[in-house]
Structure 1
Amino acid sequence: MYPSVKSMIVAAACIGFGIHGGRVRAESSVDRNGAAYVDLLDMHGSPNTPTDRSFNIFFDAGAWHGYSLPLTDDRETGFSGPFVHSLSEGQWAGARFAALALRDVASEQDMTLVPAESHAAPGYLVRVFSGLDLTVRQTLFFADSWHALVRVELIAAKAQDVNLSVLGRAMSTDNARLDQNGDTVTQTFAHSNSKLSTRLHMDGAPAQHVTLSGANYRISLEQPLHLKPHQAATVFVEQTLIYDSRAETPPPVDYATAWIRNRERWAGYLKSAASTRLPGLSDDVVRRVAVKAMVTLLGNWRAARGDMHHDGVIPSYSNPDFNGFWAWDSWKHAAALAHFAPKLAREQILAMFDYQAADGMVPDCVYLDKANNNWRDSKPPLAVWAALELYRADGDKAFLADLYDNLVRYHRWWFTARDHDHNGLAEFGSTDGTRIAAAWESGMDNAVRFDTVAMLKNGDGAWSMDQESVDLNAYLYREKLDLAAVAAILGKTQDQQRWLAEAAAMKTPIQTRMFDPALGYFFDARLGRDERVRIFGSEGWAPLWAGVASADQAESVIRVMLDPKKFATVMPFPTLAADDPRFAPIKGYWRGPVWLDQAYFGVEALRRYGHERQADDMARRLVLRAKGLTQQAPFYENYDPLTGTGYQSRNFSWSAASYLLLLQHSVKDSSR
């Protein structure tokens, strides 16, 4: 059985200590009853180079700087870091943070601390050390997106006075500089306005002294710290990252409440784990996977900085190419965040609509520097689905009302910029006329179905592929139904009826132009011809997810989906049928691997047409056959459908989001 969230907070905020043989020891560094969520991911690592991303990093609260637990055989106190994600494509600014040097005043001897425990828990990292008559506990957590804190707690078995110093070590590079500003150590970087500040805080603490030596720094209390028997003395080490020191003034830290607020915030997140389930799997397994998904999404959360005007979630901090917000990713992130972090879900949606163009287009991706934003293409239209998912989770009608016009303009843009022959069915395309950008717009960059496309000009800055994609039009059909639902919520009766009529007008063309009765599957259609692109891909079940397929068509598609030679593989629902000669599950990218968003849509497609048992079976396979998922392995960008091995980017947000939605096990029926 799982402990209550309240018991986890109370226990995690407390420390139990015992005395054994004159040596103080920590009974546990984490909640004894809440161990189910401890060490979901292995957070141990130490960077070998400034750009080393070979291990997992702890981020939270939207921070752009993160930390790791040192390697398990590392006996030095403190943490690895920080990794500054906003510095270039991301690099380690520090090798060690918050190491301690303690000296017994009476004996004038340095005090030896022996590592006892090292853990990662939702919302914090913790290390415990024992010494002669002394235990030290270091808890690293984020007070907000600017401030990382290490709460250092010292408990002695007997009264003693110690000299305390905090040590740090910057990553040796030619582009960084350490300086002293009073009792604060600052680190600045060439070609950047960012600044990293480190300081020591203790209520009523005496003056402090800073020493710099090359890449090392030391902050020392000038007067001894008096430890009373069995009473915790608490010192905070604060590290603050300012992205643009010319424009930002971070708020001060409230040390008295920072940890309590962290625990309350995470308690709110973890409550939603109780609503995750999957028949045939234990609650323990399901909830651990669900909480790991939350940890992953919040680890990729980045606060508004630079030209990003709202918070959002990046695809993966483990990949140097992914330090912005992508549209398609954002809609999936928001749909999952809606169930446990609705405020962040709202921010994620707004971050993309901040850059909506006058004609309604939403760009592919946005960055800290808007000059890098990609306007060559957009991404598949799932914004209304995400917004409606958020409304169903939090009931915020005002947000939906504010967003409605933006959603309508984006939806209309697809038909004005991407319907070459004006027949009411759209095509993926680009603003620059290139095929590669058009493929990016689909989200399935190198899918086999695009191998032979040609580009057609629709107007200035508007080009289409010469084929109508079945997934795009299924999404647009679903958007019309979802817009009708939004209009109903907002009391816009005429709009609701118009959206329903438009959806009905799309239904027959999709069913007739894109379904092949002989093969029993949906395919893209060649523009201007009664010809289908007969590639069996995951796009073929999008009409079932959207609810646009007829009952007979759905049964035919489901037979294909459940064929072990095609899609019912060891880990089910690859993006290309396993019997296709171009099937390449390891290096194929969109030519065979399992992508979790498409797999999630596949499970929901089965549910929508009444195949609950098969949906549960496929969902269990996705959980159990992804290697290491129920242990400490991170979420990967995609998976080998024949072995379940994860590939491409680790700590991938939309995989985490898709698993979280999968485990919510809810059937959406508003658009049937």
Structure 2
Amino acid sequence: MHALKKTSLFAFAVLLGAARIAGAQDDARYYDVLDLHGAPASPDDRSFNIFFDAGAWQGYSLPPVGDRATGFIGPFVHSLGDGQWVGTRFAQLVLSDAATHQAIALAPVESHAAPGYLVRRFSTPRLKVSQIFFFANSWHALAQVTLTASQAQDVDLGVEGRIFSSPSTRLAANGGEVVQTFTKAPSVLTTSLQTGGLGASHVTLSAVGYRIDLDKPLHLAANQSVTVYIDQTLVYDPRTDKPAAVDDTTAWQHNRERWAGYLHGVSNSHLAGVPEETAQRIAVKAMITLLGNWRAARGDLHHDGVIPSYSNPDFNGFWAWDSWKHAAALATFAPDLARDQIRAMFDYQAADGMVPDCIYLDKSNDNWRDSKPPLATWATLAVYRATGDKAFLGEMYDKLVRYHRWWFAKRDHAHDGLAEFGATDGTAIAAKWESGMDNAVRFDDIRMLKNGEGAWSMDQESADLNAYLYREKLDLAEIAQVLGKTDDHAHWLQQAAAMKQLIQTRLFDPAHGYFFDRKLDGGAFVRVYGSDGWAPLWAGAASAEQAKAVMQVMTDPQKFATFLPFPTLARDDTHFSPIKGYWRGPVWLDQAYFGVVALRNYGYASQADAMARDLLMHAKGLSEQAPTYENYDPLTGQGYQSRNFSWAAASYLMLLQGQGATKQ
């Protein structure tokens, strides 16, 4: 997995005949930022990283290191149940000399994962072969195969694919195409060999796969290249989905143009004390992760969005507060996807303003038992700040207002201007889900209080929830101002000022110098030092004196200034569980990102930079080939839970691009 030298990259591009696009030349620094080699031992094997792009619901990988055969691993079809491998090899070449019928044995030269494609090279003394795998769009996966002969020769060309043999999978031939169907889903996977007029093909099927052969030999002139394409198209539901044919000959150029746009701003990724090359490779890894979890609108998902992690079968949908964080990070390099990520969740906004916890391909699985922390307005404003798209603000404003008001209508039990996390079904578990911090220690002793039909609250007002709602009022004020809604602008500022006073007087404990949740009955503080305590600083709701006290807690090595800083529970808490604690000690990068911004908001730049630097340099493997993880051990930096986690990637990208300072 050695990176190609720049000189060999250029020579390789000439050999392929690939279009050179201004400002988008391949950069060897960004090769293999993630290890994408692997092969599944079973249909549900997710033990290695998979390549997705363009919103596709099918993914592929490079063969394991040492595998000498041509082609790629896959596909993994994410829209079948919770996702499964239906193929073990795609685009494996079968070449023979047309005159002697002797097989041509190809020797592997290089195998790499690059931003937006996989590439493999092979050679013999008389023939060089390249395979570039990429996505033309969310439907079509293409393997571009280029053969270049040093001497004139005629070659018989065939393409093989292997599948996981299963009673639920069926293969059929349709002319020169292979059609794979599934008994438990209407989806159809079609594989074809596109030769651009070089000849027709025929299909041979077996119990374990298929073979597509050209009907006549390819003639290779000396020192000239011939390119063919293997197209694999996944249709989720052919009764409703009708993907257009793709122009194979221009698809590669369009891929390069698209990725040039994504990577254009990578040079803006930096952090004091972190080598520029390291910062930029981590930024590219974050982009690859977010785009790898991008899934196009299918089924009951009406807009594109980003799932939390393809590596975890539990995460095959869109979650609300994940979506807001994804959108804020995507805004700077993939703004169309950022807008759609927000739209996807609001497609399901209820009449009363509620946005559900999560939505799926099949809406019967959507979770309406709770919502998620209110960061939608923050995300929408991030899109506007990155794009200047005033029309998007106009599209979203009324929806955001309804969602904001829903919190106070359904989750303010005492009607005192401060809200509580809660549920629609009255269960404590759904209320904890609504907080996003499912098993946080501060919720160990909650009781549920009924507010009305389908509306319940915990018996405590939460520091983070109310900080988010305060920030929403400021952000709604800014949006109203942009849209020329003068009265609304003044209204939101007035409400924000009143709420800021409530947060400072009700949720800050001067005896302990920290923000805590507070019980409704009697008003006792829930004195658990968690990441929620710095949310008021992130939102700009704390006074300067309060922020100084919180900063001292945040920078205490016995609390939050750990090897990998910002654990979700203070290190000296008796419940601290840094590995398997979930929200009882591991570092979650979204909360860590909020912590860095919190410090910067109040002028503690040196502390913020030092802790942000530790977040990058102490996360094991982050600057090498390891994926981003769902959470990390604050004492060792080891990643745990789901690999390729989107909001971790989003948080790292925002850290590197300096997003998030709050106007106070």
TM-score in terms of structure 1 length = 0.96
Select the residue among 495, 517, 528 that pairs with 1:524: 517
**Superposition map of 1:426-575 within 5 A:** 426-575=419-568
- The answer (yes or no) to whether the contact 1:608–1:667 under 8 Å persists in 2 is no
Structure 2 counterparts to residues 343-358 of structure 1, below 5 A: 343-358=336-351
Partner of 1:102: 95
SS at match of 1:193: strand
Using the alignment, how far apart are the partners of 1:398 and 1:296 within structure 2?
29
Q: Are residue 14 (structure 1) and residue 7 (structure 2) matched? A: no
Amino acid at match of 2:299: G
Cα separation, 2, equivalents of 1:311 and 1:230 = 44
Structure 2 SS opposite 1:109: coil
Corresponding position: 1:69 with 2:68: no
The one-character-per-residue Cα deviations of 1:89-118 (angstroms, maximum 9, x if unpaired) are 000010100000001012221100111100
The correspondence of residues 124-523 of structure 1 with structure 2, limited to 5 A, is 124-523=117-516
CA distance in 1, matches of 2:596, 2:11: 37
Q: Distance in 2 between matches of 1:327 and 1:154?
A: 47
Taking a change above 3 Å as real, the CA distance of residues 32 and 145 of structure 1, as seen in their structure-2 partners, is closer
Q: How many Å separate the matches in 2 of 1:15 and 1:249? A: 36
Q: Distance in 2 between matches of 1:106 and 1:222?
A: 15
Structure 1 Cα separation of the partners of residues 117 and 659 of structure 2: 31
CA deviation map 1:399-421 (0-9, x unaligned): 11011000000000000000001
Cα distance, 1:173 vs structure 2? 1.6
Q: 1:667 to 1:51 in 2, by over 3 A?
A: closer
Cα offset, 1:73, TM superposition: 1.2
Is 1:42 the counterpart of 2:42? The answer is: no
Give the one of 36, 45, 52 matched to 1:52.
45
Alignment partner, residue 21 of structure 1: none
For residues 517 and 25 of structure 2, what CA distance do their matches in structure 1 show? Answer: 55
Q: Does residue 584 in structure 1 map to residue 577 in structure 2?
A: yes
Q: Of 629, 637, 662, which residue of structure 1 is paired with 2:622?
A: 629
Unaligned runs of 5+ in 1: 1-6, 18-30
1:194 alignment partner, SS class: strand
Is 1:93 the counterpart of 2:86? The answer is: yes
- Structure 1 residue 190 displacement after superposition: 1.1
* Partners of 1:607 and 1:667 within 8 A in 2: no
CA contact (8 A) 1:626 1:645 kept: yes
Determine which of 605, 612, 615 is the counterpart of 1:619.
612
For residues 296-323 of structure 1, the C-alpha deviation after alignment (integer angstroms, 9 at most, x for no partner) is: 0000000000000000000000000001
Find the counterpart in structure 2 of residue 24 from structure 1.
none
- What is the rounded CA distance, in whole Å, between the counterparts of 1:135 and 1:204 in structure 2? 22
Deviations 1:3-43 (A, max 9, x none): xxxx99x94982449xxxxxxxxxxxxx9971100000000
SS of match in other structure, 1:294: helix
Could you tell me how far apart the structure 1 residues matched to 2:219 and 2:530 are?
68
SS of the aligned residue for 1:585 comes to coil
Structure 2, unaligned stretches of length 5 or more?
Answer: 1-5, 17-23
**Number of residue-to-residue matches in the alignment:** 652
The residue type equivalent to 2:169 in the other structure is A
List per-residue Cα deviations over 1:192-224 (Å, max 9, x = no partner). Answer: 000000000011121211100112100000100
Find the residue that maps to 1:218 and give its secondary structure.
Answer: strand
Q: Could you tell me whether the CA contact under 8 Å between 1:157 and 1:229 is conserved in 2?
A: yes
CA distance in 1: counterparts of 2:399 and 2:386, whole angstroms: 21
Task: Give the corresponding residue for 1:114.
Answer: 107
Judge conservation of contact 2:187–2:236 (CA < 8 Å) in 1: yes
Aligned pair in 2 of structure 1 residues 12, 195: CA closer, same or farther (>3 Å)? Answer: farther
Pair 1:53–1:219, CA change in 2 (3 A): same
Alignment partners' CA distance in 2, 1:665 and 1:363: 30
* Distance in 2 separating the partners of 1:658 and 1:264: 26
**Given that residues 600 and 661 in structure 2 are in contact (C-alpha distance below 8 angstroms), is that contact kept between their aligned partners in structure 1?**
no
CA contact (8 A) 1:331 1:383 kept: yes
* Distance across 1 between alignment mates of 2:585 and 2:36: 31
Q: Which residue of 2 aligns with 1:20?
A: none
- Letter of the aligned partner of 2:102 in structure 1? Q
Aligned-partner Cα distance in 2 for 1:212–1:15 = 36
Any idea what SS the aligned residue of 2:393 has? helix
Task: Name the CA distance, whole Å, in 1 between partners of 2:659 and 2:343.
Answer: 25
Letter aligned with residue 349 of structure 1: I
Letter of the aligned partner of 1:238 in structure 2? D
The alpha-carbon deviation at position 146 of structure 1 amounts to: 0.2
Question: Contact conserved, 1:565 with 1:577, CA < 8 A, in 2?
Answer: yes
Could you tell me which amino acid in structure 1 is paired with residue 109 of structure 2? A
Q: Secondary structure at the match of 1:274?
A: helix
The residue aligned with 2:586 is 593
- 8 Å contact from structure 1 (residues 242, 248) kept in 2: yes
The 10-residue stretch of structure 1 (657-666 or 115-124) with the greater mean CA deviation from structure 2:
657-666
Aligned residue number for residue 632 of structure 2: 639
